[in-house]
Structure 1
Amino acid sequence: MNIFKKVIAMNIFRKKTTPKDALRTSKREMAVATRGIEREISSLQLEEKRLVAEIKKTAKTGNEASTNFHFLPTNLIHYISSKWLIPFLFNIILARQLVRLRQQITNLQGSRAQIRGVTTHTQALYASTSISSGMKGATKAMTAMNKQMAPTKQAKVIKDFQKQSAQLDMTIEMMSEAIDETLDKDEAEEETEDLTNQVLDEIGVGVASQLSSAPKGRIATKTAAPPATTATTTNNNSSESSEVDELERRLASLRRI
């Protein structure tokens, strides 16, 4: 009874063997058995070579004894024949041993092939077990993911995402249009200012040239002038006033732009 309890306790505290450990143990045992069989096959093959050589040697001795002495007397031939018969019988015994030896080699080679087949089958079983374990883990993971990913919740999330994405696209488009309008307005104002400055520069140059040609000095007091001189001065003043009015109109039109 105590021994039974000890065995139960040993089984309880013994580490559980995994498929990988079982495969490793099986491969090690099969490798040891295969090496033992190969050593036995090698020794039997050496014995086979020795038997073949001995059979050849004995057969050669018997042939020489039976063929080289046919010209001798009859009683002597019978004696030599008895000498030849013994090697012949010995060759028969050796040949039977050789046949049995070759059968043993064939059986051992078959056993080695069976062991290799068992090893391959064990590896295939371990691969199937690994695939089964992987599929079991993947099934658990997919089950947990399916529980968390309810179809209604996922549809709502996708719908909200599409809505927010469309709103973001509209916002970006509006901002782009506003930025483009601002940049276009700034460019138009810059072009208007450049054009105005250019025209003003041209006007300033024209006025400066006209002012440089104007008479300098103090304005003379009213004196009696000849009629011809008075008429000429009146014509000059009217032409200058018309040019100034024309320049003012051009400046006003540019400012309205």
Structure 2
Amino acid sequence: MSDYDSRNVRKNAYLKVEFLDSGLKFVHSSVGAEVLCGIISVEREIASLQLEEKKLVAEIKKTAKTGNEAATRILARQLVRLRQQITNLQGSRAQIRGVATHTQALYASTSISTGMKGATKAMVAMNKIEMMSEAIDETLDKDEAEEETEELTNQVLDEIGVDIASQLSSAPKGRIASKNAAPLVNVKSEPTTDVDDLEKRLASLRRL
């Protein structure tokens, strides 16, 4: 092999390595950017739901003071669902971070197939979490989950310090007149016949 050919081989080999390295950098940067955007998006959603959670807790306490037990329990159920959504999103955030870890490992080990397999597994796990969230919502709507939902609702009410029984007893009661109740009539008592007879006898005795 001539010196010219040797130089060309080394040059081509160098170009191939440089191409592969630039390709890995591109994959790493693009996937990393998507992962970062995903984490930021999920964290914003979590923060928004946590703010909504605080508002809902305040609304539950306010409604409980009015003595409306049905409305209080409806709001408590909404709080149960909201907290489950927050928990699911926190799990999704952990899975996305797992994708970032696998992507970093991909770039460090220069093994595209291994890294992509790990990222795929993480994405599959994220999909399972989303499906689990939908399954929870469907389960809560079924009659057989009524008892479990009621228990969670009571736990939520206890946690935020709402005692339904005491709130109902201390709630202001409206004065509502019954439709069947007879109107009050100011009736003056009139003397009976016996009283009249007695008065006549007393008057006749005074004349004697």
TM bucket (normalised to shorter chain) is 0.3 to 0.5
Structure with max Cα Rg: 1
| Structure-1-length-normalised TM-score | 0.35
Higher fraction of helix: 1
